């Protein structure tokens, strides 16, 4: 992990990248005696490898052209107008391919499937992987290559991020396993970050990464505390009323939930609001209105499913009396980190103004959006600063970088976006209370009435099933077919040619024995026969010889008739 | 240079061991084992001495002066009526950056295979005698610079291999042995024909001003030596160089083995005893690609350039096809055999790039595949010795039963699937960088990257089926590694990790020669084209 962050060499980054993959494989599969854990580890590694392949090809494109793996040199070359293979298409391709690495690592759709399964690992591993390290690596990668992304590449990234946020949020709505809900919420939040990079809200992507890290770690540890006290029960349908039994866990969990739902005064509000404003500005500047729409809709969904989780777990009456009686607050070793992390979700750590993140030190002093190096014709107009190189340099030194046009649009979008997101989050929370706290709506009936949709969400959009039926099944069937082909056809030809040779040699053997040798034997036999026949003549009796002579003379006389 | 003929010594040392073993009474089996161990151990020592005196700046490839440790004297001489009837064949040895890694590999793998042969049960005398003969044959192939000598060693190694599989092998040993022998001999015939064709197409100018036909590889690389009307001469407008190239390539491809000539390999591996599988995968397969680089490439640079796309295509097929078939295997050893085919595909792909990076990657991959696959076959051997089965699905949960073993397997498996920081990754990455940089085969390189994914799939799946899950009660008697097995695994593990972190140790040996080769190929190819091809 540290390696990924400190290197300026994309090949080194790839190496560390893969090593993180190895660690996650070993950690997720830590309880390797359990088949599901071993499966999950394998799945995480392989799905990540799919993304890594793309990243590797992207690296090859860059290396083949620039003969270097150093980021800064590559960016410098691009800014001088030296594009890979002299085409913006190749630059777009390189950007998207390297982004594929992030799709795998940061669990973006369609490679998000490994992350929820990775819950098979021990809970500290889940918290570590989900909140801090692995998933952050993907976002870090996109942020790192941000300056070389073309307009098309950014659009692709934004769409992937938006779709991921949406898909994961819809799945999280119906899950009953407490860790699964949190896992899909992680995927969804990661979608937000990727979306933010795609729409150019670079700083807010990073900001959301940081805020999300603290409140999601808190949520995971909180869920661990709950699971522990419930005797390893993960299904929220058996929980309820835990608020009284475990107050510290409850309040820290609630604070983090408020943060992730985007309620003001908490960190999640600041970062998410910035991202939403970014999508708004993006929609305004480019006309891609689907992205802000997705962003806002997911904000409402997030508030809804997170409060659903809180209400079912901690409010109401206990559903499983036996387990409830057994439940107790966790020891200080578990509660102290919860408190620390939940406190970190309060706005004051990031900015003095609870409504505007850019007033704080984080965005002002630490993260600066870099100037894109992509040539003007291949990037969005708003990405260009409108300054010439010298001005840009000056501006960079004084800390005012990035496109003014975009910043203006974001400022413009800030308040409408904030109000809209507040309304939507409020609606989400309201509906959650209506559904689960006050039981104004019969949830089962509702689920029954939209059964296909409910099933679709409960079964995670059938993505796993789809992969099993197509890629995995196809590969396995294909490999069996090829093994058959190898054994029966290729090796068959080899063995057949051996058999043919054997038949030919048998034929030659037969020919040799019966024809060639037969002729030899026949010659011998014939000579013998002739010899035998003529032997009869050799009787040794002078009288007989005399008769032959007389007979011969008579025959000769008859033939030549000398007379 | 050293004061003694190190190459002859490293080549024929095993033969001395063999003679001693043959002279010993049959019952002294332990002594025989130790004699083999000493012979192969001394080979390793000689290889280290070789490396210590190695000149990293000498190119070799086509220029006699820049070969190292040269030994050259007249071996066969028949004086005829004129120069046409005169036969002069040299005993000519020398190494450069192409052969040195292979010499090191042969010494190392032979030594480890000897340790692994410790529990061979019957006919110990015959086994070790043949084993040492095989060792000499392999080493000889890599140090010969005369094609006739090369061919002698090439064939010399066939015979012991045939008996080693045929006598000490598994249930279908006769079938596997004869298949291996006939198949390889079939390839050798092509090599022999081309060799004779080349002999009659080129002459070498001896120091005395005398001109004779030649088997000298370096002379055969110089187009100035070719006559106007030789059938394989580039100056002959009706030459048969393309056909000869393909024939030679097939001869070498059988050894690699390249699709579709690969089916002898799984049979040979499955039936061969563990140490012989180790030798087969570790060293023998490299002879094919070595031959192509040593003979086909510099002697036919023009045709190599024309056919590089096809070589890359077969490389790609090997990678993908081998990986897919490996995925379907249920026999552990067969799976490793097919993974071997897949990994040799990377060598072909790198070679086809005709770039320094790609060929360096290919030769490095030859070395890495030698160490990694040797380790994989040892791994199969360890579990087969204990459980007497190789069915992947028969196992499960061995991680708790044999933790140390599992640790070594983890290193080998992850090296085989190309995990960065282990040696396999570096060579595969170099191959891809080289192949990707050559625009005509770029698309093939991109498709080949799928092999990385498939490689991870079959390796991890196998790993899970054997080591994860619940332990089958049947296997609770299995013991972890013993001291002898530690001795086999530790050096290979160290090399795999060391070369993954510091690949320059090996790359520096090859670098100058690889550049020389590419430079020669490119100039050679231009010159050859000028001659009206």
Q: What does the pLDDT look like over A388-415, one tens digit per residue?
A: 444 444 444 444 444 556 666 666 667 7
- B523 has a chain A CB within 8 A of its CB: no
pLDDT band for A380, please (50, 70, 90 cuts).
low
Q: Does A257 have pLDDT greater than 50?
A: yes
pLDDT score recorded for residue A265: 75
Q: Does A473 have pLDDT greater than 90?
A: no
Each residue's pLDDT tens digit, A181-225: 888 888 888 888 888 888 777 777 778 887 888 888 888 888 888
- Give the chain A residue nearest B439 (alpha carbons): A64
Chain A residues with CB inside 8 Å of B457's CB? 46, 475
Counting DSSP H helices and E strands in chain B, the numbers are 23, 4
- Give the chain A residue nearest B176 (alpha carbons): A495
- A490 has a chain B CB within 8 A of its CB: yes
Q: Does A20 have pLDDT greater than 60?
A: yes
Kindly give the residue spans of alpha helices, DSSP state H, lying in A106-132.
114-117, 123-127
pLDDT band for A348, please (50, 70, 90 cuts).
low
- B199 has a chain A CB within 8 A of its CB: no
If you average pLDDT over residues A151-163, what whole number do you get?
Answer: 84
B355 vs A420: which has the higher pLDDT? B355
| Phi/psi-derived region of residue B107, left when phi > 0, alpha when psi is between -120 and 50, beta in every other case | alpha
Nearest Cβ partner of B263 from A25, A56, A494? A494
- Contact criterion met (CB < 8 Å) for A53 and B425: no
pLDDT band for B195, please (50, 70, 90 cuts).
very high
- B185 has a chain A CB within 8 A of its CB: no
- A38 has a chain B CB within 8 A of its CB: yes
- A478 has a chain B CB within 8 A of its CB: yes
Each residue's pLDDT tens digit, B484-519: 889 899 999 999 999 988 988 889 888 888 988 888
- A555 has a chain B CB within 8 A of its CB: no
Write the DSSP string, B315-350.
HHHHHHHHHHHHHT--BHHHHHHHHHHHHHHHHHHH
Which has the closest alpha carbon to B256: B352, B167, B327?
Answer: B352
pTM: 0.85
If you average pLDDT over residues B464-470, what whole number do you get?
Answer: 84
Nearest Cβ partner of A53 from B179, B449, B467? B449
What's the Cα-to-Cα distance from A312 to each of A239, A307, A410, A494, rounded to whole Å?
7, 8, 38, 67
Tokens matching residue A359: 């007033």
- B467 has a chain A CB within 8 A of its CB: yes
pLDDT band for A352, please (50, 70, 90 cuts).
low
- Contact criterion met (CB < 8 Å) for B328 and A479: yes
CB A240 within 8 A of CB A313: yes
pLDDT score recorded for residue B13: 92
Nearest Cβ partner of B456 from A14, A35, A46? A46
Pairing of strands B87-95, B68-78: antiparallel
pLDDT score recorded for residue B531: 35
Tokens matching residue A490: 């290729």
pLDDT score recorded for residue A408: 66
Chain B residues with CB inside 8 Å of A486's CB? 263, 321, 325
Percent of chain A residues past pLDDT 70, beyond the cut: 85
Å from B434 to nearest chain A CA?
A: 9
- B404 has a chain A CB within 8 A of its CB: no
CB A190 within 8 A of CB A108: yes
- Average pLDDT score, chain A: 77
Q: Does B42 have pLDDT greater than 80?
A: yes
- Contact criterion met (CB < 8 Å) for B436 and A18: no
Which has the closest alpha carbon to B343: B284, B427, B434?
Answer: B427
**Kind and range of the H or E element at B88?**
strand B87-95
Å from B31 to nearest chain A CA?
A: 42
Euclidean distance between CA atoms A261 and A311, whole angstroms: 14
Tell me the HSE value of A533 on the side-chain side, using a 13 A CA sphere: 6
- Average pLDDT score, chain B: 87
Candidates B189, B268, B396, B456, partner chain A, best to mutate (most A CBs within 10 A): B456
Task: Please identify which residue in the block is written with the tokens 């090997």.
Answer: B318
pLDDT band for B20, please (50, 70, 90 cuts).
very high
Candidates B254, B264, B415, B460, partner chain A, best to mutate (most A CBs within 10 A): B460
B130 vs A228: which has the higher pLDDT? B130
pLDDT band for B214, please (50, 70, 90 cuts).
confident
Euclidean distance between CA atoms B512 and B24, whole angstroms: 46
Tokens matching residue A183: 């896992």
- A516 has a chain B CB within 8 A of its CB: no
CB A101 within 8 A of CB A55: yes
pLDDT score recorded for residue A400: 41
- B425 has a chain A CB within 8 A of its CB: yes
* Among B residues 29-88, those touching chain A with beta carbons less than 8 Å apart: none
- A401 has a chain B CB within 8 A of its CB: no
Q: DSSP state, B75?
A: E
Euclidean distance between CA atoms B267 and B257, whole angstroms: 13
CB B62 within 8 A of CB B115: no
Chain B residues with CB inside 8 Å of A490's CB? 259-260, 262-263
- Show the 3-state SS of A427-463: HHHHHHHHHHHCCCCCHHHHHHHCHHHHHHHHCHHHH
Each residue's pLDDT tens digit, A457-471: 777 777 777 777 777
Q: At what angle do helices A88-105 and A10-28 cross, to 10 degrees?
A: 20
Nearest Cβ partner of A479 from B324, B414, B456? B324
Task: Please identify which residue in the block is written with the tokens 């404003």.
Answer: A277
- Contact criterion met (CB < 8 Å) for A63 and B183: no
- Contact criterion met (CB < 8 Å) for A483 and B446: no
Q: Return the number of other C-beta atoms located less than 10 Å from residue B471's C-beta.
A: 17
Nearest Cβ partner of A33 from B263, B421, B469? B469
Euclidean distance between CA atoms A139 and A154, whole angstroms: 13
Euclidean distance between CA atoms B5 and A562, whole angstroms: 94
Cα B228 to the chain's mean position, in Å? 35
Nearest Cβ partner of A60 from B414, B436, B460? B436
If you average pLDDT over residues A10-39, what whole number do you get?
Answer: 80
Each residue's pLDDT tens digit, A425-468: 778 777 777 777 777 666 677 777 777 777 777 777 777 777 77
What's the Cα-to-Cα distance from A221 to each of A30, A216, A226, A456, rounded to whole Å?
18, 9, 9, 29
Tell me the HSE value of B84 on the side-chain side, using a 13 A CA sphere: 3
CB A282 within 8 A of CB A205: no
Chain B residues with CB inside 8 Å of A53's CB? 449-450, 452-453
pLDDT score recorded for residue A261: 81
Chain B residues with CB inside 8 Å of A19's CB? 419-421
- B476 has a chain A CB within 8 A of its CB: no
Å from A528 to nearest chain B CA?
A: 44
């Amino acid at each position: 992990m540290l390696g990924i962050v400190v290197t300026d060499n994309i090949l080194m980054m790839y190496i560390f990248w893969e090593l993180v993959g190895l660690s996650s494989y070993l950690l997720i599969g830590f309880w390797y005696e359990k088949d599901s854990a071993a499966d999950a580890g394998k799945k995480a590694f392989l799905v990540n490898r799919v993304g890594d392949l793309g990243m590797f090809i992207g690296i090859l494109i860059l290396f083949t052209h620039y003969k270097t793996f150093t980021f800064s040199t590559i960016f410098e070359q691009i800014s001088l107008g030296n594009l890979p293979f002299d085409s913006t298409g190749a630059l777009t391709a390189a950007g998207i391919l390297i982004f594929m690495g992030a799709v795998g690592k940061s669990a973006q759709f369609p490679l998000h499937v490994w992350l929820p399964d990775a819950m098979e690992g021990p809970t500290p591993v889940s918290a570590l992987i989900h909140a801090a390290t692995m998933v952050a690596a993907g976002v870090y990668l996109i942020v790192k290559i941000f300056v070389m992304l073309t307009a098309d590449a950014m659009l692709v990234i934004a769409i992937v991020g938006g779709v991921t946020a949406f898909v994961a949020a819809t799945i999280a709505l119906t899950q009953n396993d407490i860790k699964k809900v949190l896992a899909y919420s992680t995927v969804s939040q990661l979608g937000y970050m990727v979306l933010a990079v795609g729409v150019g809200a670079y700083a807010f992507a990073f900001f959301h990464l940081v805020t999300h890290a603290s409140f999601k770690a808190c949520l995971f540890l909180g869920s661990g505390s709950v699971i522990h006290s419930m005797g390893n029960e993960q299904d929220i349908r058996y929980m309820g009323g835990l608020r009284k039994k475990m107050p510290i866990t409850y309040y820290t969990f609630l604070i983090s939930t408020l943060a992730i739902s985007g309620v003001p005064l908490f960190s999640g509000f600041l970062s998410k609001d910035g991202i939403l404003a970014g999508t708004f500005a993006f929609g305004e500047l480019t006309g891609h209105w689907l992205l802000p729409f997705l962003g806002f809709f997911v904000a409402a969904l997030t508030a809804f499913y997170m409060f659903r989780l809180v209400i079912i777990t901690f409010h109401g009456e206990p559903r499983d009396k036996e387990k409830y009686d057994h439940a107790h607050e966790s020891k200080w070793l578990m509660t102290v980190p919860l408190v620390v992390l939940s406190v970190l979700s309060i706005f004051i750590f990031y900015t003095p103004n609870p409504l505007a993140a850019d007033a704080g030190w984080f965005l002002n002093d630490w993260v600066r959006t870099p100037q894109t190096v992509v040539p003007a014709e291949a990037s969005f107009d708003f990405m260009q600063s409108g300054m010439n190189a010298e001005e840009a340099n000056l501006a960079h030194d004084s800390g005012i970088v990035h496109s003014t046009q975009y910043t203006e649009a974001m400022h413009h979008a800030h308040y409408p976006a904030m109000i809209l997101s507040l309304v939507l989050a409020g609606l989400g929370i309201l509906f959650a209370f209506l559904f689960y706290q006050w039981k104004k709506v019969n949830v089962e009936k509702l689920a029954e009435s939209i059964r296909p949709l409910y099933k679709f969400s409960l079964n995670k959009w059938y993505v796993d099933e789809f992969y099993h039926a197509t890629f995995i099944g196809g590969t396995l069937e294909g490999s069996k077919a090829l093994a058959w082909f190898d054994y029966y056809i290729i090796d068959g030809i080899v063995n057949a040619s051996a058999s043919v040779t054997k038949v030919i040699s048998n034929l030659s053997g037969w020919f040799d024995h019966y024809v060639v040798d037969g002729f030899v034997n026949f010659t011998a036999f014939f000579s013998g026969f002739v010899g035998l026949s003529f032997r009869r003549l050799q009787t040794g009796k002078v009288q007989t010889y005399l008769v032959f002579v007389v007979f011969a003379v008579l025959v000769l006389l008859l033939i030549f008739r000398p007379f | 240079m050293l004061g003694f003929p190190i190459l002859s010594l490293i080549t024929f040392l095993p033969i001395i061991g063999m003679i001693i073993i043959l002279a010993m009474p049959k019952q002294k089996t332990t002594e025989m084992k130790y004699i083999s161990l000493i012979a192969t151990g001394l080979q390793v020592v000689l290889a280290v001495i070789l490396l210590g005196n190695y000149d990293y700046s000498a190119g070799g490839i086509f220029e006699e002066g820049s070969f190292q440790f040269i030994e050259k004297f007249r071996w066969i001489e028949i004086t005829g009526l004129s120069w046409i009837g005169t036969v002069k064949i040299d005993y000519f040895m020398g190494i450069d950056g192409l052969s040195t890694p292979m010499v090191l590999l042969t010494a190392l793998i032979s030594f480890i295979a000897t340790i692994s042969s410790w529990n061979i049960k019957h006919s110990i005398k015959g086994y070790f005698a043949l084993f040492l003969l095989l060792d000499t044959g392999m080493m000889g192939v890599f140090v010969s610079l005369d094609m006739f000598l090369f061919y002698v060693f090439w064939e010399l190694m066939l015979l012991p291999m045939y008996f080693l599989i045929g006598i000490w092998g598994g249930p279908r040993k006769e079938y596997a042995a004869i298949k291996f022998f006939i198949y390889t001999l079939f390839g050798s015939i092509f090599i022999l024909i081309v060799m004779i064709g080349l002999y009659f197409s080129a002459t070498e100018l001896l120091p005395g001003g005398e001109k004779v036909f030649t088997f000298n590889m370096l002379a055969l690389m110089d187009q100035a030596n070719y006559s106007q009307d030789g059938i394989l001469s580039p100056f002959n407008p009706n030459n048969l160089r393309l056909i000869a190239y393909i024939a030679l390539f097939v001869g070498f491809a059988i050894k690699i083995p390249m699709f579709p000539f690969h089916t002898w390999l799984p049979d040979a591996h499955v039936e061969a005893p563990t140490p012989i599988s180790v030798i087969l995968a570790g060293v023998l397969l490299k002879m094919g690609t070595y031959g192509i680089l040593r003979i086909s490439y510099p002697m036919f640079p023009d045709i190599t350039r024309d056919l590089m796309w096809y070589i890359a295509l077969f490389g790609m097929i090997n990678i993908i096809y081998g990986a897919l078939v490996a995925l379907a295997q249920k026999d552990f050893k067969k799976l490793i055999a097919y993974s071997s085919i897949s990994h040799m595909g990377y060598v072909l792909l790198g070679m086809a790039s005709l770039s320094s990076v790609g060929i360096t990657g290919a030769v490095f991959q030859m070395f890495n595949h030698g160490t990694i696959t040797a380790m994989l076959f040892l791994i199969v051997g360890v579990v087969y010795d204990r459980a007497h089965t190789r069915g992947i699905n028969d196992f499960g949960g061995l991680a708790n039963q044999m933790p140390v073993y599992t640790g070594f397997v983890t290193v080998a498996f992850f090296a085989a699937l190309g995990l960065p920081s282990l040696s396999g990754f570096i060579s595969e990455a170099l191959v891809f960088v080289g192949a990707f940089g050559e625009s005509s085969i770029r698309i093939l390189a991109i498709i080949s990257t799928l092999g990385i994914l498939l490689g991870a799939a079959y390796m991890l799946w196998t790993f899970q089926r054997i080591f994860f899950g619940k332990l089958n009660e049947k296997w609770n008697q299995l013991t972890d590694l013993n001291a002898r097995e530690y001795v086999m695994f530790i050096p290979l593990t160290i090399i795999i990790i060391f070369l993954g972190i510091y690949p320059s140790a090996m790359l520096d040996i090859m670098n100058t020669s690889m550049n020389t080769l590419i430079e020669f190929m490119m100039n050679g190819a231009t010159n050859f084209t000028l001659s009206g091809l």
